[in-house]
Structure formats: structure tokens, C-alpha cells
Amino acid sequence: MSAERSVTIKDVAAHAAVSVATVSAVMNENKYVSPELAQRVRASIAALGYKRNNFARGLKTQVSHSIGLVIPDIMNPFYTNIARGVEDVTHTHNYSLIIGNTDEDPEKEKKYLHLLDSKQADGLIIAVTDHSFEYLQELPLQNLALVGIDRSLIELGIDTVLVNNTVGTRTAIEHLIGLGHRRIGLVTGARGITPTEERLVGYTEALEKHGIAVDPALIATARARVDGGERGAHQLLTLEDRPTALFLMDGTMVIGAMRAIAQLGLRCPEEIALICFDDFAWAPVMRPHLTVVDQPTYEIGKQAAHLLFERLQHQERAPREVRLQTRFIVRESCGSHLRSPDALSRFHA
Amino acid sequence: MSAERSVTIKDVAAHAAVSVATVSAVMNENKYVSPELAQRVRASIAALGYKRNNFARGLKTQVSHSIGLVIPDIMNPFYTNIARGVEDVTHTHNYSLIIGNTDEDPEKEKKYLHLLDSKQADGLIIAVTDHSFEYLQELPLQNLALVGIDRSLIELGIDTVLVNNTVGTRTAIEHLIGLGHRRIGLVTGARGITPTEERLVGYTEALEKHGIAVDPALIATARARVDGGERGAHQLLTLEDRPTALFLMDGTMVIGAMRAIAQLGLRCPEEIALICFDDFAWAPVMRPHLTVVDQPTYEIGKQAAHLLFERLQHQERAPREVRLQTRFIVRESCGSHLRSPDALSRFHA
């Protein structure tokens, strides 16, 4: 079969007795062709077994029909769900999705960007590594449509999808204050990236609104992974005047925090209340069932992909920042189910 | 910059005062070029900022430097970790990884295979959907190197990576028998695919070895997702003569099983013991801490990618089936930590 001469678009045109332009218009669906004519062309394509050569097509139109997704780690459920959302949209467009994990290493990120650029991916959805704005501007990405996720790139004129980090955090912290907590520990991920900085604002706002001074000793910075969560929680829980509640900025960190709590022999929620960002399939069956700030992860992926395909169609559209809403889900890990409704209503009155 | 004429391979050759063939040999590292000459060519490439056009290259060599990974669902942690393993290897080869989710829908699977074939991906790692062997043989995939994961394709002459399902299951079931269980419920995924069938063999072997008859009423078939696990567990736990232990074939199903157990007001492990295939980050912090048959998911991905790149180099190598070992991790969900060592040693004696 490979020895046969390939069927070309000219062969199809001859077979259907139309012009090459008409065959192209039918295949790309980018110009009006009468249903009868389109049907004839499709029949000829089928009869001859014509298969468009993507390399040849790419050479001419510089469209690869691939997009890239560059994220810290697909194994973090936050990004797993985003990837699935992106892929479902990509699939409906008959595009391929190329995935790269940076491990938050700017060098790896650069390598992926160059790889995708050299393969002429049409677009890229990216959660940039820390402090990488500058080099992003330096990269020769003129032909690559970009959408930022989780970290805002709107100042660079790049479409961005993220959540209302500040409100989401403020709501959670106010819930803890409402339950009587005054010393609330915070374990953050890397400083300088949007989610960390915005959640710090939400934390501070909630405390200040209720006249509680921010104690820097109660804020730990750690790697947004299980081990980071464990270290951060351990650091705060071994303070002489330890917090009575912990807020973790990431759904993987909370696993580490639960380890630290168990290791120190503390009981959750009786001795230490716990809230984290990110809901996941396991949270509702854990004991205690975790109270969380849920992010619409799958939807972040979908929206990012929609913005990207929109950008590919309308290169001149003004950049847009989409903020999706978080959802505060109260379960058991703050012990609110153990309190009398009276105590709560007294506070909120 | 985009208005400038692109630098071509001829420009590089002229700049370095060598032939185009020499530049090509240096770039593709496929012919001997003296170190001095190679150095001169590389300097010219750098000086001119020459960037190889992948479309043009693909047209000539039919190598896309992309591989595909087609799996049921990246959101199942089993496949998430495999994807990460595949991607880490792909990355070291400077290849791109294209990911597709089939949701175990053979039509979606076919669409991905055609998409990858038309984009001329060099290779494909695939967990085939049920009963799809036949159409896989019919597909025109002559130019696509294939590796099967989780489901054996060795009979089709296709390299395969999977785990020792039978031994893994037998060990877990014997652990339950050792703890005194005689009525052991099994919730399986789709019938007809390798892991289901092999694990059924392991289940049967363990029971028969200990003179326990297989009761078909204790085997439920369900979707390998949270909801399937819940339905399957509910079906078995509401039997008049209900099992005292459950074995779930998947790490997402166990979440559903835990829901069903809670819903029916049963206590685990006191009233119902629980084991599942797949370990995950959350298993050790769940209450009870889950006893699991751990699969080396990341390693499955790595090995599959290694086999694929090996195949791309040596098309004629004999097909190989790689079986990785599972690891039985005893935690708390079977209650073995509640039994006296005496009871166990009496049984094993």
C-alpha cells in the first residue's frame, strides 16, 4: 500500500469534476459549497480513500491542529481535572492535546515552550512557574495563541482563567472565626504566584474585619505537595502558642497536614480544625470529612480551551480575564457539626 | 521579525561553508561528521538563529516526534500516574505527548486512533476499550508503533505492559481468608478486559485453595468509577447472607464502596473488611487506613514509553510482554491490626 502513489487533492477534484478550491472548501468547511456539490466531493474522497497530509497542510497554512497544556504536575488532582476539561473541548474541535509537566522548574517550562513552538502548536494553555513573567515576554511566541490558568497573565495582554481566590479564602477564614478560632494557621504554596498572593489577601482581610491581628508566625510557606503540607503544618503545630485551626492552600498539602496532625497526636477537629483549597473525590469519605474551598477545576480547563479556540479565530479580540466562583463546602473537619446552633447564631448576630 | 525571510538550511550551509547534507547530518545526528565540522555547523545555526521547520521535516521523513497516549480517563489516578510516567520518558526524548480520553467508548477510541494516524504520530500507547481487539486489527495503523497497557495485546504481536493481576488478587483474598472470612464479595469492572478476567482467576484460585466454593451471588460487575463501586457494594451488602469482606477492583470504586458502607450504617473494618486494587496518596490518611494492592502505575507508564521508543528504533524486535509486580500493603481496613497475633498464627500454621 505504501508503494502506491498517494491520492492527491487534484485526483479528488478530477474524480468529482470540481475545482481543487471546491474540494478544499468542503474539507475545511470555510466557504459555502452547495449541499449537492459537497456530497459529490465527499463521495469522491471516500471512493479514492483520500487522506489529507497534515505535514503538507501545516507547511502551507501553519496550522498544526494541536494545542499544548503546560502545567506543574498532572498528578496534582487540581491539574488532572483541568487537563480533562481542556481535552474534552480540544476533542470536539478535532485538535490534539499535548501535555507537559514543568514541576515548577522554569528551565523545564522554557524547554516545553520551545518544543511546542518548534512543532508549531497553534496555541498553549499554561500555568506559569513562579516569577516567570519576564522571560515569557522575551520568548519568540508570536505565532502561539496563549491562555494563562491559575496565574494571571492579563497584565501581559494574555487571556486568563482563574478563581476568586480572595473571596474563597475570606469565606473559609470567616467560618473559622465564626466558630471561635482566633489563632488560624496558614500554609501557603510558593510566594509570588497569583493564587498564593490573592489567598493571603483573603486571609488578611478576614482577620482584620474581625479585629484580629495578623501574626506572621502563623504563616508557613511550603512546596504545594504532600511533603510541603506536612512540613508546613508541623512547623505551625509545634509553635509554643500553636494555632487552633489550619488552612491549607492546596488539596495535596492537606494530606501532609493530616499526617502531621496524626504524628503529633492531635485530634481533628476537636483540637485542630482543618480547611483546604480543592475538593476531590476522597474528601467526602475521609474521616473527618474535609471542609473545603472547592474550585471548579474541570470548568477552568473547559473555559481556558474555549478562550484559546476563540483566540485562534479572532486574533484581535481584547484579552479577557475569566474569574470562576469557588464553593465553600462545610463538612466535619472544622467541627461545626459538633457546635450548638446557638453558639453560631450568637456570633453571627 | 515575521516579515523577515526565514533562514533556510541552505543559508546555514553557505555560512558554515559546508554542504546542505553536512548540516542535515549534524542536525539529525545520523551520519558521522568530524567534531570540528559539527562545531562549525552548530555555530552557524546559532549565529543565524536557524530553526528547523517541523512540517517540512515531517513531509520528508514522516517522523512527527509525537507519541499518543489513549486511555479511558486521565481523572482515574491509575491513569494519571501512568500518564506522568509516559510523559517523563517522552520529555527526555524531546518528543511531545498527545493525550486522549476514550471514556471506554470504542467510537471515541477509533476517532483518536484516526486522529493520531492522520497527524502521523510516531507511536501510540493504548489501554484498549472492551472487546476492541478485532477492530484494532482492521485499522490501517501500519506506520504507528503500538504498546498496550493494562490490557494484554501480546496475542496481536503488540508490546504490552501490565501487572501480575492474578497473584496480586490471590494474595489479598488469602489475607482475608486468613482473617477468618469465608463470604468475600468481589466488585469487578467491565468483563472481557485483561485486568478483570485475571483478577477473577486470582479470586477463584484463592477460594478454591482453601476449599471455599465460589458463590456467583457474591460477584458484582459495575462501572470502574465511584458510582459503579457504590452500586456494586450496595448490591452485595444488601444480600440476605451478606459478605463480611469486599474486594474492589479499582481505586475509584472503593470511594463508592465506602459511601455504600456508611449509608448502610455498617462499620469498617468491624462489620465489613475492605481491600481494593490501587494505592493513592489519600489511602494512608483515610480512616480506616486502606489496605490495598498497589500497582506501580508510574512505572507502567515509564516501561510502556521505553518499549515504544525501543520499537521506534528496532521495528523488527520480537514483541514483549512486561509484567510488573503489585505490592500488598496491609493497613487497617481489614481489621488485621485488631486481631491477636495468635489468631493469625493459628491460621497460618
The whole-number pLDDT of residue B52 equals 59
Q: Does residue A248 sit within a domain?
A: yes
Cα separation, B293 vs B198, in Å, equals 14
Q: Are residues A259 and A122 in the same domain?
A: no
CA distance A209 to chain B (A): 35
Q: Does residue B78 sit within a domain?
A: yes
Q: Are residues A47 and A123 in the same domain?
A: no
Q: Which residue of B has its CA nearest to A59?
A: B55
Q: Are residues B250 and B315 in the same domain?
A: no
Q: What residues of chain A lie within 8 A of the CB of B62, using their CB? A: 55
CA distance A82 to chain B (A): 10
CA torsion through residues B320, B321, B323, B324, sign: positive
Per-residue pLDDT band at A69 (split at 50, 70, 90): very high
Q: Decide: A102 and A70 in contact? Cβ < 8 Å.
A: yes
A101 part of contact set with chain B, CB < 8 Å: yes
Q: What is the mean pLDDT of residues A156-163?
A: 91
Q: Across the interface, do A282 and B80 touch by the CB < 8 Å criterion?
A: no
Q: How many CA atoms lie within 13 A of A249 on its CB side?
A: 30
Q: Are residues B153 and B46 in the same domain?
A: no
User: A16-56: per-residue pLDDT in tens?
Assistant: 988 877 887 787 666 788 888 888 988 888 888 776 554 44
Q: Does residue B2 sit within a domain?
A: no
Number of residues that this document lists for chain B: 349
Beta carbon pairs, A and B, within 8 Å = 142
Give the nearest partner residue to A282 out of B53, B115, B282, using CB atoms: B282
Determine if the peptide bond prior to A284 is cis (ω within 30°). Answer: no
Q: Does residue A1 sit within a domain?
A: no
Domain holding A207: CATH number?
Answer: 3.40.50.2300
Q: Does residue B228 sit within a domain?
A: yes
Contacts of A29 (CB under 8 A, 6+ apart): none
The whole-number pLDDT of residue B229 equals 97
Q: Are residues B185 and B235 in the same domain?
A: yes
Q: Are residues B22 and B94 in the same domain?
A: no
Give the nearest partner residue to B58 out of A55, A80, A258, using CB atoms: A55
DSSP helix/strand/coil, B179: coil
User: A233-250: per-residue pLDDT in tens?
Assistant: 999 999 999 999 999 999
Mean pLDDT across chain A: 86
The whole-number pLDDT of residue A57 equals 43
Q: Are residues B303 and B288 in the same domain?
A: no
Q: Across the interface, do A285 and B255 touch by the CB < 8 Å criterion?
A: yes
Q: Does residue B60 sit within a domain?
A: no
Q: Are residues A181 and A249 in the same domain?
A: yes
Q: Does residue A220 sit within a domain?
A: yes
Q: Is the pLDDT of residue A175 over 50?
A: yes
A56 part of contact set with chain B, CB < 8 Å: yes
Contacts of B50 (CB under 8 A, 6+ apart): B7, B8, B9, B11, B12, B44
A88 part of contact set with chain B, CB < 8 Å: yes
What is the total count of domains within chain A? 3
Helix and strand numbers (H, E) in chain A are 13, 12
DSSP helix/strand/coil, A36: helix
Q: Are residues A75 and A90 in the same domain?
A: yes
Cα separation, A23 vs A26, in Å, equals 5
Q: Are residues A233 and A136 in the same domain?
A: no
Q: Is the pLDDT of residue A216 over 80?
A: yes
Domain holding B25: CATH number?
Answer: 1.10.260.40
Q: Which of residues 111-140 of B touch A (CB under 8 A)?
A: 111, 115-116, 118-120, 140
ipTM of the complex as predicted: 0.76
Cα separation, A344 vs A175, in Å, equals 10
Q: Are residues B235 and B178 in the same domain?
A: yes
A74 part of contact set with chain B, CB < 8 Å: yes
The one-letter amino acid at B62:
Q
Q: By C-alpha distance, which of A281, A322, A301 is closest to A84? A: A301
CA distance A276 to chain B (A): 14
> Helix A77-92 to helix B77-92 angle, to the nearest 10 degrees?
80
Q: Which residue of A has its CA nearest to B256?
A: A285
B46 part of contact set with chain A, CB < 8 Å: no
pLDDT in tens, chain B (349 residues): 333 466 777 888 889 988 877 887 787 666 788 888 888 988 888 888 776 554 444 443 556 789 999 999 999 999 999 999 999 999 999 999 999 999 988 888 888 888 887 776 889 999 988 655 666 666 655 567 899 999 888 888 889 999 999 999 999 999 999 999 999 999 999 898 899 999 999 999 999 999 999 999 999 999 999 999 999 999 999 999 999 999 999 999 999 999 999 999 999 999 999 999 999 888 878 888 899 999 999 999 999 999 999 999 888 888 899 999 999 999 999 998 776 544 444 333 3
Q: Decide: B202 and B170 in contact? Cβ < 8 Å.
A: yes
Q: Across the interface, do B101 and A84 touch by the CB < 8 Å criterion?
A: yes
Q: Does residue A60 sit within a domain?
A: no
Domain range enclosing B157:
66-162+297-325
> Hey, of B61, B98, B111, which one would you mutate to test binding to chain A, going by the most A CBs within 10 A of its CB?
B98
Q: Are residues B179 and B321 in the same domain?
A: no
